[in-house]
Structure 1
Amino acid sequence: MSFLKADYSKNQEQGFDAVPTGNYEVIINKAQEQATKNGAESLQLDLLIRNDLDKVPDLSKTNAKYHNRHVFMDNWKRKNTNQYDLASFQYILDAVGIPEGTELNSVDDFMKAISGKPVLAYIKNEDNTYNGNTKKVNRVAPWNISKTNYPEVNHKFKNPEKPTDNPFDSKEGISIDESDIPF
């Protein structure tokens, strides 16, 4: 018996174009640090458009139409300092309701504090030109993140395990011997 038989008869156009400009109720699904091949580092937020607000009349053209879509927000380290712009992080902390005066000791603490929290995001749809090609992309500025109008979350995740509960997202608990790595 084969592993897979090619059958393209049920393939459909997925339509992953950028969402239209507007206010969207989202969940900060995941926060993670990453780096480009050239070494530029960023803190990327995966904003997941909530699916539990489809019946709210004011959200019929945003959440109801685009629920379960992911919009990624990159917060790049400054080249001259190799540090994040911590002032922009204040908007995100305020939006998720971290009490004034709370001290976070690391980027990891910041990521844990905001992950899984609902916020309101103003998402822009704009042109991006790269290598002569222009396409529509979504952008979210930190100052366009604010407190949610719907703090009670009943979002149904496709994967029943909440993203912040995934043990593989953590550096703790997984030990890899470097001799096992082939590169």
Structure 2
Amino acid sequence: MELGVIDLVGGGGAMVAVNDSTRTLRRTRSIQLDHVWRALETGAWVTAGFRSATPWLSSITGESPSASSVTLRLAERIQQMPQVKATFADGVLAESALRQLTDLWSFDIAGEFARDERMLLGWALKFASGDLTMLLATWLLHNDPDAADKTAQEQFESRELHLSSLLDSMGRLDALLDPEGFNLVRAAIRHLS
């Protein structure tokens, strides 16, 4: 069977259906990322009157600002990874692995990433998320020893928080926090609850 799917259900019908639909979702997501990238290149969000691409995409998709921010990041960074992009477009690569690879990529290590893209992609296809995280962290340590300091700064700079009032007087909170901010907010919520 394709992708090493094991026939655990007599005839494998349910396993094949889940595998096929998962691959279809990934292919569709790949198409969406391509459309988002083209819109970013043309500045569609500017001509639509938005100050940044995140609220523009959020208004179009109905997704939260944090989910829209992830989509924008994937759409931008996947352009630098031709093999990863093609594998995701084929529906083979999980989006969680795609996120790990796009989080790893930066301009500072673009050459090293390009050199090792096939190997990194192989790891993403072979290893579970936790193992992949360790492998990518080790790879990054060897290829960019100053990454830990830069990563902390990038995390700090990419923080965002959105508080929205809903029609029924409820409220919605979407946030992307650096580790220190996350720990502070978690402690405050625990204290209040």
Question: Shorter-normalised TM-score: what interval?
Answer: under 0.3
Q: Which has the higher helix share?
A: 2
Q: Which has the higher strand share?
A: 1
Report 1 or 2 for greater relative contact order, CA contacts < 8 Å, sequence distance ≥ 6.
1
Normalized against structure 1, the TM-score is what? 0.24
